[in-house]
Structure 1
């Protein structure tokens, strides 16, 4: 069992400072769009009244082909992870890493022991057989932050079984055109809880708005652990608006454009920056020699990137870089190439990730 201590509450926003180009936070640039800003402004006219979640809950349910009782609205995906930790009493909780660290942090804060299943480098692909059969709570991301790997829906679904809650963090699912591997609309899998967020695609990190989808009894149990009126009126208005067919079509178009920008970034990177896995989301994970030094030198040149050593299974040679427009990516690549210098005659290979569950 791993005894390494990680800063589970370190996130990309901690890397930012005035004057730095933000490649550390994966929020889409140019958001919120003008029409969504107008929705939020109009919602301010109603803030004297207590929030009414019913319209937003119905809109989210309709978007995913579910009844409203299978939808939990929350103050961001992070609140859902806290509610899971409050409402459930797992005997054996397993978190699949590398991944977003707030689910593990919430479980530990609630007093639940957590086991880490580290996916093997360099591909970081999910093998359902590696998850202990008696785990009654399993948490993983898809696409996974920070690797940007998209697991096949079938592999994720294979983890569902009676007596187990399977939490799938899909905060970045809408960064993939068509959301082909999402389980958001799957109602026939036992114990699956899909967690979604409006933060990344719609630029609403400061609003704190997300939701969970799952069986009605599981949703009710999580809701019982929430305070009253947990989602603000502006956040509810955003949920309703972003669940419309027009908004979902806009998000899909943005995901397609993201794919073009990601390809431009990958093409521009110098050879000494090794791309980890097969990135499919709005960021890529790099492995560079002397990562801590490289990150510091990038910062001195005006770039903020996300350190990787706070993610279980990664080290300080890992850097997560947000996908931006091609011109920005080329400028980053130029500075990165200057910092790394000419490629060495032998390439450095990543060491195998330690096995934490055998």
Structure 2
């Protein structure tokens, strides 16, 4: 069943306009938006994927990636079909570009999702795989259910959302990892079918006008968005407009979807990007999708000690107290922290939302 959608209005010419993302799709009867999952039905907008997921997995929170948001904990991850960007390099294209939704869907109510996360010992629920902006109503309800059960809500998103919907959506999120795809509008237009400025606006608003914990990820694609010039401009913008304490992740591309002719990102590219960002004063810069202990480790800005040593998603050593302060010098690191007995590790556990389990370790 289709779910009543928010964030739209009727135009004078009889069409209705979706006000959720900057595409502002204008729809005649029974037309779908560019995201495929928001549709005009009669005289209203509906969400066609409410309560219908593309699968559930238990992941380490570091996989989102979030390195400063309850590190070492596990998160119940899920998404739906569809997306409001058209990234040629999409690494979840079988989900985000699906037009055969019934093949993917696993029915789940917001409360069932939250209860399953509790049963598996998760600290949070993440809306990921495709962009939760396009299933905002479902994500908001699931976030509210998570909060009722003492869980946190995480959005893994491209940040392509309008000012109209932004405050409502993020009012229910505790953390967001925002994909900053590149740092030129040309890259966004040619490779993602979108524009850069709305993403920068979202990031600025999140960091300065919300309580959401924010980390940024940029997937580096050889020859497309990995030049020294672009990396310098991106790093400078983050440092000056968002602040030096916002964590920035540079992750490795692998050939997929419509960019199969481009090779994997060399580890040296990630190391170079990290060095450039650190030179701009950013304090927490990480490399991802590679084995790089130095690039995955969190260092105390006060004494320089490695306080969370990582290899990929695996925590090798942890030297923060329950408030996130360095045990060596007492400097408190930005983020959200609490006591955990042992890190979840690099496991990925597919789960059925309807089969209740007593523990993530059973």
Same fold (TM over 0.5): no
Which structure carries more relative contact order (alpha carbon 8 Å, separation 6+)? 1
User: TM-score w.r.t. structure 2 length?
Assistant: 0.29
Q: Per residue, is there more strand in 1 or in 2?
A: 2
Q: Per residue, is there more helix in 1 or in 2?
A: 1
User: TM-score w.r.t. structure 1 length?
Assistant: 0.29
